[in-house]
Structure 1
């Protein structure tokens, strides 16, 4: 695969490279070193002397946040990456990427910090919702589609996190010990496929170490494998605050150290050259990569951008809804779905009213609106046929102040003088770098007050709290409840963003009345945080009713309806960046709720609103189980489409679902700083099969609203042809999966009306016929003959053909 997308491959590439060379020759050492360090949280400095504008980066992957991490700057929120992978449709991923490029251009962003293509090694990985799959081939295909779509829109990508960044526990310091074969066949494989097939303009190196070397200094994996063997010619940027060494970083192939202005590059890098510790040619290589990216995105004078004709605009809401319903995985259906027309429905669950549409951490964006399941079904069902009951609330702690709050920010200097004001669409405030209200600077800013009103929707004891570090003053309805310094148990620079909120006040309030609220914070950035950040959250929880009473009300609602739809969910304290999961159970009393509702109504449908696997102890008691992942801003509308049968659920599992007790690979906690991947190449479905264990639902599983017959398979060389027939009563879509030597080697989807057949032609990659030989340190061809299987899932193999390599 090496070098298939190399530099200067077309006349346009050659012309851009000439401009890059000319610009590079005009820069002195200090300017070059400056360009390799972030000037702030999200951007690189402009260099007017060569016609270079500032390069702006932004987090993804389900939206484009922009440089302002605030609800006041809304973004389209697509379904989670696990949902996108569940579509098994690279073309749909490509359309998602094109939409995100459109969003990036709207927000002045040149490079999207996405996609995440690490693997679901253990189901306990806290950030798995942000990655695609346990399988490297599926991950590579979906990732390639996403990268292609973004870059066709003239915006760069940074495929992350290179490499083996598969868990969150001690992620800054952990040394992951991985065999060369597992690295090549599993963890490097998606990156390699995307480099070959989509030619990404950037890559992000991870916090962790691999086999003793931190990834921002990993000369072998970056310089020899990524750039040398694969021919990658893009930018290598560090994960934020991952760069640790000036000399080792530049020698290890790290081009840019983010964020700024305090990094190991910049002045320190220029000084290292002058001291003879680093050759200036190393600096030139890194600067050339930055300038090449700038040329591609159109911010280097004299260079024609890589994309001169932009794609047609996309309706973001419509695409978000389409992806969501195509991603829903129907794992069980005993005739309950689709819900027959005219049936009465009891919708149950706190998550049905206050939907969780995305995962926590740096993937968070703020959509302009969210369609909850309650919103979607209210719009879709005839008036008078839908009832709602809370049943059980998965949120066992406070969340950012939102519904009923009208807030604004007031900034003051050390004398108490107001120096600026701003809006605050929620209780979460987060200003990074110079993203401050007009007239406010970090030099003058001493305190920030979130102030405004709260009109509760329920009477009773409301709980208020604080997420963040430092001095706070919390006042509700004229009474000060907290005026102290709030600390942290863990010395983690991200605790302000991802830590738990702390309860600080309980107040009796009346629904419909309006109350004054205020949270003031004295700004102080810890010394170990090398960036200017103002971040804290006013949190809130509504009155907590007796859980038994809530479940009893839900049971009565279910008993009175033809169909009960229960929405269960995880929370931000279960699935988020910054920590791994402790178990796979649903939080709160949601399992108990489902047991009770199922006993009252045989037509119970459970919608599982989680980004990654959870245990389903009641699955055999209910009529249908639908996995909705984190479905994005239009999730409720998509859910109504699928439940009512106007659209078929199109998803197939991109990762195995099973109990934690049965899962073959679970360890995410290092011992003495090391996490040894003792399972080698056996993760996901390969591990389940090797151990002879039966999961709850296997990799690739998913039902539709029709049936399919697999008629014939033919194999010619690396080409597999499969004919299938829709043997059901409705139009539908089938995803045909090809397994070779126990590994996913190809897939394709087909649509057909009832009674009609479809023929799919699937080209298998060369790599499907190879394995990594650790003796020769090279890829070698599989020997002997083996079966190619056309399957509905890894556990439902329909047709076989025996072939030789």
Structure 2
């Protein structure tokens, strides 16, 4: 057993607390003085939202209204449009600290242009499985890469005088039942995997705000978790900023008040006058506790000058050129080339672009959804670069609208749909109105669908018949706010039957010529706005085949979008079945298929991998993504993104396959994180199961050689690693050099290797550079459960360097 020779414990942490916040003693005292002038009612009202995205003003005390805004990928509140940056997982795929700082600056400037004080980002929950609907917002599976990415993002945001909010603290690694499921995680795993990004944000980036998560942690809701919020966040890490809830993630008044929560959002459902005044009177909550919450909020605002100056900067354009350029640069560096069989890319000759995502820029849903001023799709980007060498076979070209061929019934006497309107939500009883309508395309807003109908709580059924002349394939699109569902020949095809904002579904349906198809669309409105849309298209296969015969390559754009991947729900591992089948269909017609894939994480490649000669993981590339993807496809630039995740061959291979869903018998839903620290590549190394694509992987159009490694001990627990990288190929490009550490002999089970350093280096063809990476105490330590602190054990450590976690040609051993 090794002798333990040092620790990263309380003594070391306290030595850096002076830089843990930008909050000065003067700001703290000023906040305390303001608190003494506030009435108890004012103080209680101040610790919850005034509107969904603002804190109330108290003019008599010089406190202005404070605006908050989602989110991690752009400002989606307080203005109808803003810069849509690439998703967080793409940003992490750049492995570029300087560019991530610029992302933060751009977000900060966008916030100031709209008078926003507090940005609700970044999100740093660790990627455990591809199923989590919010993976696209986060920075991948590795705590070191996530922490470095978040640090630069936060520093950039706060350099612009805007408060960043790191979220969701802690253990919110799935979207299924997020309000009710407990993430049961041992202390070591929390400290080594799920806490590091938050700790780095507090101690190295001086983050101004932290957001609690929805879930329970070890049986206690995060907003009521005293150990999490006070013992760790406040006392151990030295956080002095604002601790806020996620929107509706508070579940009690006294529990949240006494567990360190400062601010309940979006409104005071629990921490309000009705609940807290009696609690203070009964002594279950003290007024001093309320005072401290208000102080935390005010001293943070004071530290950023928000009580002394106007936040809105009219000199910054809402459609900010700096932000647009930053979004483009991120997309250029974060797209990952996964496959390039026979060097199909860069594209040569004439190219067809097609697929459901060719004419649009998809994004994930929820707080990460932003409406941009403009976008550049892959089709637009390629059209600009390839001009006459491009053929558009996009959906609007190869699919034809067939709604005009629908009849109200099988007699085929009247075209259109039979519409039945009900004054209830359940399609119950006899309809109040029956009429014929030419289409199903309504946005009633907040009004009634017909005269004499309620504005809320109604339902409608549409029926129609369709008979194709020949065998073919239909594309059916349906969307609504609230519930909708589609039946064909009385079989449920798709839908989203529930109370929700606008969503949509798209499916493919094979049809036989001369056969009758009975369509039934059902819709209900619960409250607020009411929208229903239905479209039907038929694939013109002759036009498709004629087009494919004229080109040398096919770029097929497909994947997920905000309707299939987003906040509040998990998504499947596989693409939609019709997408997989269409990739194979195109490959049967043409030998050179490039798939541009949009997703917030890994997907199941097994059903269609062989059909594609090249695969580009485009994630959700932001408003300028089409230009960046076109530049990569045509070879104007070389791809340089590297995966911040491992992509499994099948879901069953994932280290958390048995511990992602509820796996303990208990009164509440409990998920035991039984894999411990062995998540992601750490778990694949342990199990010996080879992922489809390993962590850190990404192809280039050039080649790189690593050589001349040296590892020198430059401190008691510090090692400087140096090595050469040479561009040995024929194209200028960037390379991400990754540094991993392996503890050769440990007293506790440790991963085979862990990422502890990296550098992104640009090299002209033929150029060689010397790269140095300093590994500090964090690179060698683990969390000791007995001492409740990080320790470094005396002994030998192997340092491994290379372009991916699976390809580490350079090795050296150091003794600590």
TM-score class, shorter-chain normalisation, is 0.7 to 0.9
Is 1:322 equivalent to 2:323 in the alignment?
no
Matched, 1:668 2:669: no
Give how far 1:257 is off.
Answer: 0.7
Q: 1:499 to 1:215 in 2, by over 3 A?
A: farther
Correspondence for 1:775 among 781, 786, 789: 786
Q: Does residue 242 of the first structure (1) align with residue 231 of the second (2)?
A: no
Q: Say whether 1:766 aligns with 2:777.
A: yes
Quick one: structure 1 residues 574 and 469, their matched pair in 2 at CA, closer, same or farther if it must change by over 3 Å? closer
Q: CA deviation at 1:586?
A: 1.1
The equivalent of 2:58 in structure 1 is 47
What pairs up with 1:483-522 in 2 under 5 angstroms?
495-497=499-501
The structural deviation recorded for 1:566 is 1.4
Deviation of residue 292 (structure 1)? 1.4
2:204 to 197, 220, 225: 197
Q: Does residue 700 of structure 1 match 2:696? A: yes
Say if 1:154 and 1:296, in contact at 8 Å, map to a contact too: no
Residue 792 of structure 1 aligns with which residue?
A: 803
**1:338 Cα deviation after fit:** 3.9
Note the C-alpha offset of 1:198. 0.6
1:735 aligns with 2:742: no
**Residue 340 of structure 1: how far off its partner (Å):** 5.0
CA deviation profile, 1:159-206 (whole Å, cap 9, x unmatched):
000000000111001111111111110011111111121110000001
The answer as to whether partners of 1:37 and 1:266 remain within 8 angstroms in 2 is no
* Partner residue, 2:265: 258
- Assess if the C-alpha contact under 8 Å between 1:64 and 1:103 holds in 2: yes
Which residues in structure 2 correspond to 1:386-535 (within 5 Å)?
386-390=391-395, 467-469=480-482, 495-497=499-501, 524=527, 534-535=528-529
Distance 1:232 1:145 in 2: 18
Q: Superposed, which structure 2 residues align to 1:214-363 within 5 Å?
A: 214-260=221-267, 262-301=269-308, 315-340=322-347, 343-356=349-362, 358-363=363-368
CA displacement at 1:757 relative to structure 2: 0.6
Matches within 5 A, 1:595-606: 595-606=584-595
Q: Which residue of 2 aligns with 1:442?
A: none
Using the TM superposition, give the Cα deviation of residue 47 of structure 1 relative to its aligned residue in structure 2, in angstroms: 1.1
1:545 aligns with 2:538: yes
Assess, with a 3 A threshold, how the Cα gap between structure 1 residues 12 and 168 changes in structure 2: closer, same or farther.
closer
Residues 585-607 of structure 1: CA distance to partner in whole angstroms, max 9, x if unpaired? 11142222323333443332211
Q: 1:569-598: CA deviations, max 9, x gaps?
A: 11334311111123x211142222323333
Q: After superposition, what is the alpha-carbon deviation per residue over 1:474-518, rounded to whole angstroms, capped at 9, x for unaligned?
A: xxxxxxxxxxxxx9977xxxx413766799xxxxxxxxxxxxxxx
What SS is found at the alignment partner of 1:382?
helix
Alignment partner, residue 685 of structure 2? 689
Residue 571 (structure 2) pairs with residue 565 (structure 1): no
Residues 156 and 665 of structure 1, relative CA distance in 2, 3 Å threshold = same
Q: For 2:263 and 2:570, how far apart are their aligned partners in 1?
A: 28
Measured in 2, the distance between the counterparts of 1:10 and 1:390 equals: 52
For 2:389 and 2:600, how far apart are their aligned partners in 1? 32
1:612 aligned residue: 601
| Local SS of the residue matching 1:719 | strand
1:622 aligns with 2:628: no
Q: Which residue of 1 aligns with 2:121?
A: 114
RMSD: 3.5
- The aligned residue for residue 35 of structure 1 is 46
Q: Which residue of 1 aligns with 2:430?
A: none
Distance in structure 2 (CA, Å) of the matches to 1:56 and 1:91: 28
Q: CA deviation at 1:788?
A: 0.4
1:2 alignment partner, one of 13, 20, 26: 13
Distance in 1 of aligned mates of 2:801 and 2:641? 18
Structure-2 residue corresponding to 1:648: 638
Change (3 A) 1:763 1:631: same
Deviations 1:749-770 (A, max 9, x none): 1111111111111122321211
SS, match of residue 787 in structure 1: strand
Match of 2:104 among 97, 108, 121: 97
- Per the TM alignment, residue 699 of structure 1 is displaced from its structure 2 partner at its CA by 0.4
Looking at structure 2, the residues matched to 53 and 232 of structure 1 have their Cα atoms a distance apart, in angstroms, of: 24
Closer, same or farther: CA 51–163 of 1 in aligned 2, 3 Å: same
Equivalent-residue separation in structure 1 for 2:604 and 2:398 (angstroms): 17
Q: CA contact under 8 A between 1:350 and 1:391: conserved in structure 2?
A: no
Stretch deviating more after TM superposition (587-596 or 97-106): 587-596
Give the equivalent residue in structure 2 for 1:632.
622
CA change 1:556–1:465 in 2 (3 A) is: closer
- Say yes or no: does 1:747 pair with 2:758: yes
What is residue 165 of structure 2 aligned with on the other side?
158
Are residues 1:374 and 2:367 paired?
no
Distance 2:220 2:804 in 1: 38
Runs of 5+ unmatched residues, structure 2? 1-11, 404-440, 448-453, 459-467, 485-494, 508-521, 714-718, 743-752
DSSP 3-state at the match of 2:783: strand
Give the distance between the partners of 1:462 and 1:797, measured in 2 at CA. 46
Distance 1:332 1:650, change over 3 A: same
Structure 2 Cα separation of the partners of residues 465 and 605 of structure 1: 28
Partner residue, 2:409: none
| SS in structure 1 at match of 2:630 | helix
Matching residue of 1:149: 156
Partner of 1:716: 712
8 A contact 1:119–1:136 mirrored in 2: yes
Contact 1:177 1:675 in 2 (8 A): yes
- Residues of 2 paired with 1:122 and 1:599: CA distance? 32
Q: Please list every run of 5 or more consecutive structure 1 residues that lacks an aligned counterpart in the other structure.
A: 399-425, 437-444, 450-458, 473-486, 504-518, 525-533
**Alignment partner of 1:629: what SS?**
coil
Aligned-partner SS, 1:57:
strand
CA deviation after TM superposition for structure 1 residue 536, in Å: 4.7
C-alpha change, 1:604 and 1:626, in structure 2 (3 Å) is same
For the 8 Å contact 2:523–2:532, the answer to whether it is kept is no
1:110-158 alpha-carbon deviations (Å, 9 max, x no partner): 1011111001111211211111111011000001111111111111111
1:208 maps to which residue? 215
Question: 1:60 & 1:619 partners in 2: Cα distance?
Answer: 34
Q: TM-score, normalised by structure 2?
A: 0.79
SS at match of 2:782: strand
Deviations 1:225-276 (A, max 9, x none): 1111111111000011111111111111000111125443344223322232
CA deviation profile, 1:607-637 (whole Å, cap 9, x unmatched): 1111211122333443321110001111111
8 Å CA contact retained: 1:337, 1:643: no
- C-alpha separation between the residues in 2 aligned to 1:754 and 1:691? 39
- SS state at 2:56 partner: coil
Task: Count how many residue pairs are aligned between Structure 1 and Structure 2.
Answer: 700
Counterparts of 1:720 and 1:258, CA distance in 2: 46
Compared CA separation, residues 603 and 155, structure 1 to 2 (3 A): same
- Deviation at residue 84 of structure 1 after TM alignment: 0.3
Asked if the contact 2:478–2:504 (Cα under 8 Å) also holds between the matched residues in 1, the reply is no
**Contact 2:708–2:724 under 8 Å retained in 1:** yes
SS state of the match for residue 747, structure 1? strand
Q: The residue matched to 1:690 in structure 2 has which SS?
A: helix
From the superposition, tell whether residues 779 and 115 of structure 1 become closer, same or farther in structure 2 (CA, over 3 Å): same
